[in-house]
Structure 1
């Protein structure tokens, strides 16, 4: 007898036994600790802070960073597959890990040795949670026009920060913020990067945004009202902040791509299982060719997206340029997630439109992935520039 709709195991190629063990650990945590309460907690808008403490204890919050500073020394290829597993169980968790990893990038890659030794171990394995502050109310895609300003004050070289950041994941609950602020003239070259403690005097957050999905993940404006930072909190050189931000986003886009495929895989599994159980006209609806073709297209999108983000990750791991491929992966995987989750709702029919099944939540969550860390229109611009050169040509 055919096992209609049974979720098929994902065929993963991992480079080491340690990597296979890490993925097995992530899958176990996802299935045992995350998935059972995901729907109820998302509906109630509950952020699972205790889960992030668990992931930190398990060594899953610093996988792509150096073991010297408390990381896991894992290739991005491995980290992204762990991320996919977490996002399949609950996007709030998967995306939260991706944002935390993004928030650590500036210090890990551009900080001094002393800065890394002082801060990274607690950021990677000490239970801390990070946020990334680039976007502002009037500068989203045009991040180079940001207005939050840091000015020097006093003989000791301290900085005083004034401004507001917008759409900040973990805004108001983060333990540290990687901040891009203007320290010089207009444009990208006047921006510098800073590491701001979450309890800094003058730092506050607005009420979380009311969103169509990911209700358990707080997204809020963050206000900097005279926040004073020592110069030892500046990351990299003055005016290097925009370069630091873009370098982080290239890697972060791969995290979003992996999260998107996690959501798409979860939707595909739910749709396939339903198609094997739901009977119409005397047989499972999965026996009808039209529905089988729909599921086949969904599965192909998921596999193609996974192959694309892993190919980009392998370029990154090899130290080769990967910006174009990261933009392609973010674009394709998030568009695929939107299509697959929408089709999953169609497979379930009227039941798919109800909260009794998870596919409507997957569809609502997939939408934001086409927007965050560079809209998909921006990704097309990035890809076009790589292909044809600057727009001015």
Structure 2
């Protein structure tokens, strides 16, 4: 482990209390205002949450994947928007830099990312390039005389874009397909870069997504991340890791929903006895618990394989598919157990029902995960 066991146990205990005592009481407020309070963000920075996965030499905690999954599960017990506040800093917004950055790039950016002074964002999706990520149309033309790449194009549904100071941008420097895509580190303050208004969404209020537009943005050549044509490879490595993290959040959300179901079923009476005495209610809870336990075991197993240096492309796809589909079923059962109350905003179950729906879409839809699994299985079979 990156941390000794006692230190890690203390960290988990601290974050669990933070979730219970500080975050959960504010879930309704965040959903209503669509904003995370500034004081909460500062507390997250003080806890080191913005640097969980950043190497210690750059000011982060340097957690391995198994340790990070434990944090993700703990954070899953509150509104997903809370975790999203620092999620891009420790995931898709920083890991391309950690994996493929030069020593100079890392020294320049990672310490400020780890402290939360810089918020990062990952700009891959476009109006015509979602699941088909290799078809990005944003162009990056090299101006040899000035030593810059000129970026032109638009990105869509970019998480934390309205707060981001640094974007990891995938743009086309070559021909069609994956081999023509290159990654760039693009500061927000470069002339020609603009960010649209946050989109109105079904759920996860407090976590914003926006369009990002590039109009002749001059990006210094030293801000290229890796070699030309390696951007798609970088993106896929980042997404493998991100899918595993999100799977941990799904498990945590399911555990929270099961706790809520059990609590409500024990208190609510019908026909003179608590709901928990009815076998069909017990079946809803039992199925949810069994599926959640199975997903958690798969998440933890895959994290250990990643820490051991194994190829986990198929494992990450399978883990995200299982975990994200599982939490959707658990949320649906929770609404059913609550009955009419589950459809009313006061109880929060309907909010989670909407919040967890996104897990089956971002960082690769369930359909994309199935395609990856099938491809890897057939490849292994010759």
Deviation at residue 94 of structure 1 after TM alignment:
1.8
Aligned residue in 2 for 1:5: none
Do residues 22 (structure 1) and 8 (structure 2) align? no
CA distance, structure 1, for counterparts of residue 151 and residue 244 of structure 2: 31
Q: Work out the number of aligned pairs and report it.
A: 379
Deviation at residue 365 of structure 1 after TM alignment:
0.8
CA distance, structure 2, for counterparts of residue 226 and residue 51 of structure 1: 37
Aligned residue in 2 for 1:130: 120
Aligned residue in 2 for 1:323: 313
Kindly provide the CA deviation profile for residues 60-100 of structure 1, in whole angstroms up to 9, marking residues without a partner as x: 22222310111212121111221222232120022343332
What value does the CA root-mean-square deviation take over the aligned residues? 1.7
CA distance, structure 2, for counterparts of residue 211 and residue 382 of structure 1: 28
- Structure 2 matches for 1:1-393, cutoff 5 A? 16-101=5-90, 102-389=92-379
Kindly provide the CA deviation profile for residues 357-386 of structure 1, in whole angstroms up to 9, marking residues without a partner as x: 011011101111100011000000000011
CA distance, structure 2, for counterparts of residue 15 and residue 80 of structure 1: 16
In structure 2, stretches of 5+ residues that fail to align are: none
SS at 2:51's partner residue? coil
Kindly provide the CA deviation profile for residues 157-188 of structure 1, in whole angstroms up to 9, marking residues without a partner as x: 11111110011011221121111111111111
The answer to whether the Cα contact below 8 Å between 2:54 and 2:110 also exists between their aligned partners in 1 is no
CA distance, structure 1, for counterparts of residue 351 and residue 20 of structure 2: 18
Aligned pair in 2 of structure 1 residues 28, 127: CA closer, same or farther (>3 Å)? Answer: farther
CA distance, structure 1, for counterparts of residue 378 and residue 10 of structure 2: 43
TM-score by length of 1: 0.93
Deviation at residue 329 of structure 1 after TM alignment:
0.8
CA distance, structure 2, for counterparts of residue 156 and residue 316 of structure 1: 41
TM-score by length of 2: 0.95
CA distance, structure 1, for counterparts of residue 316 and residue 194 of structure 2: 33
In structure 1, stretches of 5+ residues that fail to align are: 1-13
Aligned residue in 2 for 1:4: none
CA distance, structure 1, for counterparts of residue 45 and residue 117 of structure 2: 5
Kindly provide the CA deviation profile for residues 124-159 of structure 1, in whole angstroms up to 9, marking residues without a partner as x: 124322111001000001010100011122524111
CA distance, structure 1, for counterparts of residue 32 and residue 256 of structure 2: 18
Indicate the larger mover: 258-267 or 187-196: 258-267
Deviation at residue 335 of structure 1 after TM alignment:
0.3
